[in-house]
Amino acid sequence: MATTARDLARSLADLVLPVRCAGCGLRDVPLCDACRWWLERPARQVVPTPCPPDMPVCFAVAPYAGPPRQTLLAYKERGRHRLAKPLGGALTRAVGQAGGGRPVLLVPVPSTAAAVRARGGDHLRPLVEQVLRRVDGRLAEVLTARPRPDSAGLSSAARAANRVGAFGFRTKGRRLLSSAVRDGYAVVIVDDLVTTGATLAEINRVLTAEGAPPSHSAVIAATVKRSAHIRSPGRSRR
């Protein structure tokens, strides 16, 4: 993907502005040890409540609250590009659990064109690249995101309805998917976070219809109030 003027401006700001921890604001460190700890925990299975039909088994490392949430927002919305390495490490652990020891075919959740423009680039791609440096895997960018109304604030049922038909399939990717499945790869959907699970469920349906049902899915963080299996962060460990 071509580097934009916004990418360059944000990268420059990330280098020259006074450094503060992305998770807690501590001075003179991009991510302090206490906040980094949240991203270095073992991945665990997370289950949204209610869990949508067709939701693939999902693994996450951190709750989407407190320092992990602030770190993700700093990376996605405020151009803290250097956070791609620790966030990519967290996603790698989730992918490792999702793959179950097999080589993985990573299918990233695509962003809409509007979201890519607003953020100055595809925020998920650098994280996936970090994963592929650390695991036996391949990348399958076989999905497209169709324009949809913003789902922020919607209920679980409304989010699910909003996601129906939200993703298209690049037919040129069908051969890649079929060959990877034939060769024993675990097809893993990857994203930065899961809230209601509606997005992962819809992509599961799309890929299953194309003959490549995902083995599992992997994210960095899961929304706490909708997850039955991941604890909310209390005080950060120091």
Closest by CA position to 21, among listed 33, 11, 12? 33
Q: Which residues contact 206 (CB under 8 A, 6 or more apart)?
A: 143, 167, 169
Classified as helix, coil or strand, 2 is coil
Q: Per-residue pLDDT for the chain (238 aa), expressed as one digit of tens each? A: 344 555 555 555 555 556 899 999 999 999 999 999 999 999 999 999 999 989 999 999 999 999 999 999 999 988 899 999 999 999 999 999 999 999 999 999 999 888 888 888 899 999 999 999 999 999 999 999 887 655 555 455 555 555 666 899 988 888 999 999 999 999 999 999 999 999 999 999 999 998 899 989 999 999 976 444 444 333 333 3
Tally the C-alpha atoms within 13 A of residue 179's C-alpha that lie toward its C-beta: 8
- Please, what's the b/e burial string for 174-188 (b: 16 or more CB within 10 A of its CB; e: otherwise)? eebbeebbeeebbbb
- Beta 193-194 vs 221-222: how paired, if at all? parallel
- The span from the CA of 33 to the CA of 1, in Å, is 32
Tokens found for residue 39: 């991203």
Q: What is the pTM of this model?
A: 0.82
Distances (CA, A) of 200 to 8, 18, 58, 203: 32, 37, 9, 5
